[in-house]
């Protein structure tokens, strides 16, 4: 079998590809004929995906075990991307949530979140944009969230880091527009993935969240890929219901309602 170096197919690099939205991006891009560079910590899951997608889609998959909270791992990935002639998609998707009231939270976990959501995302965006701008072609998708537009209890760092991703992505699009490179801040609402069952999300009550708020990973990824290929919009908020919710909440009256609801939730927890 040929490998990625010999293949002349375009390449999609995806962080956090072992599960959830990252795995779904890998599937949809493999179906479109992309070779894949898949990155995450759980190498066993990446190897399973490699076997499955190579045989199902006839493409080549390279896996890289990386902990993106570690500077050396991020630098290794930056080097891998630096001279990647065929890099067409870079998807900075790796991330995690955590439940906990500030200041009772573990500051090391807060720092880890900043490293994964902000520092690695900034460095990998840059590493990917250099070859993309040189070729005057490429797509960069950064995972933000509807949380970027809101505030609330129990997840201060998460909301703040996703606001960074939103703002950073909008600004770098201005810098790279002249190179025919497109950037997207993908802002999904609640989506069925492994996100809410992670150890750090203990305490999140999925069954108490209204069913209509939940999206499927397949739909979120399809919407994101369609938007970046066919429109010039930088911000992608999948589903009309979330656009409506944000329109209702991101104004002074909506903010007051949010504040009241969050205070009530915090009181019920104590």
Ligand X SMILES: NC(=O)c1ccc[n+]([C@@H]2O[C@H](COP(=O)([O-])OP(=O)(O)OC[C@H]3O[C@@H](n4cnc5c(N)ncnc54)[C@H](OP(=O)(O)O)[C@@H]3O)[C@@H](O)[C@H]2O)c1
Q: Name which position in 191, 221, 236, 245 contacts ligand X (CB under 6 A).
A: 191
Question: Which segment (4-12, 55-63, 173-181, 191-199) binds ligand X by CB under 6 A?
Answer: 191-199
Which of 29, 36, 68, 225: binder of ligand X (CB under 6 A)?
68
- Least distance CB 29 / ligand X (angstroms): 15
CA 126, CA 78: separation in Å to the nearest integer?
9
| CA triple 131-219-40, angle to 5 deg | 50
Residue among 91, 188, 236, 237 that touches ligand X (CB under 6 A): 188
Give the Cβ contact number of residue 91 at 10 Å.
29
Q: What is the 3-state secondary structure (H, E, C) of 209-269?
A: CCHHHCEEHHHHHHHHHHHHHHCCCCEECCCHHHHHHHHHHCCHHHHHHHHHHHHHHHHHH
Tell me whether residue 42 or residue 229 sits nearer to ligand X (CB atom).
Answer: 42
Task: Compute the least distance from the CB of residue 68 to ligand X, in Å.
Answer: 4
The answer to whether 142 touches 120, Cβ cutoff 8 Å, is: no
Closer Cβ to ligand X, 57 or 96, answer by number = 96
C-alpha to C-alpha distance for 186 and 47, rounded to whole angstroms = 26
Which one of 98, 195, 225, 227 is in contact with ligand X (CB under 6 A)? 195
Pair 16, 22: CB distance under 8 Å: yes
Smallest gap, in angstroms, from Cβ of residue 260 to ligand X? Answer: 24
Among 95, 100, 131, 138, binds ligand X (CB under 6 A): 95
Residue closer to ligand X (CB basis): 34 or 242: 242
Q: Give the count of beta carbons closer than 10 Å to the beta carbon of residue 101.
A: 13
Give least dist CB 44 to ligand X, A.
9
CA torsion 230-236-240-245 (nearest 10°) is -160
List the one residue from 125, 145, 169, 184 that touches ligand X (CB under 6 A): 145
| Maximum Cα–Cα distance across the chain | 60
Buried/exposed code over 168-195 (b: 16+ C-beta within 10 A; e: otherwise): bbeebbeebeeeebbbbbbbbbbbebeb
Interface mask toward ligand X for 112-141; x: CB under 6 A = ----x-------------------------
- Cβ proximity to ligand X, 133 vs 160, nearer residue: 160
Q: Is 67 in the site for ligand X (CB under 6 A)?
A: yes
Question: Using CB under 6 A as the criterion, which residues of the chain lie in contact with ligand X when the complex forms?
Answer: 15-22, 40-42, 45, 66-69, 93-96, 116, 143, 145, 188, 190-191, 193-195, 198
């Amino acid at each position: 079998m040929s490998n990625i170096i010999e293949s002349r197919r375009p390449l999609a690099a995806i962080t956090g590809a072992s599960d959830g939205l990252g795995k779904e991006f890998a599937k949809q891009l493999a179906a479109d004929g992309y070779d894949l560079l898949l990155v995450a910590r759980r190498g066993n899951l990446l190897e399973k995906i490699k076997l499955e997608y190579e045989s199902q889609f006839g493409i080549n998959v390279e896996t890289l075990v990386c902990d993106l909270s570690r500077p050396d791992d991020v630098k290794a990935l930056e080097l891998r991307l630096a001279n990647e002639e065929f890099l067409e998609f870079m998807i900075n998707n790796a991330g995690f949530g955590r439940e906990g009231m500030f200041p009772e939270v573990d500051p090391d976990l807060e720092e880890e979140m900043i490293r994964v959501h902000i520092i690695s995302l900034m460095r990998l965006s840059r590493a990917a944009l250099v070859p993309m701008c040189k070729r005057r072609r490429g797509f960069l998708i950064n995972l933000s969230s509807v949380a970027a537009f809101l505030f609330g209890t129990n997840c201060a760092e998460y909301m703040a880091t996703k606001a960074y991703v939103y703002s950073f992505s909008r600004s770098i699009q201005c810098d790279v527009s002249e190179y025919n490179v497109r950037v997207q801040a993908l802002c999904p609402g609640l989506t069925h993935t492994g996100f809410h069952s992670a150890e750090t999300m203990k305490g999140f009550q999925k069954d108490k969240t209204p069913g209509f708020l939940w999206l499927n990973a397949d739909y979120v990824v399809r919407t994101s890929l369609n938007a970046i290929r066919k429109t010039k919009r930088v911000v992608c908020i999948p589903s009309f219901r979330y656009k409506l919710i944000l329109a209702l909440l991101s104004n002074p009256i909506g903010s007051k309602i949010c504040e009241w609801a969050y205070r009530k939730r915090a009181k019920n927890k104590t």
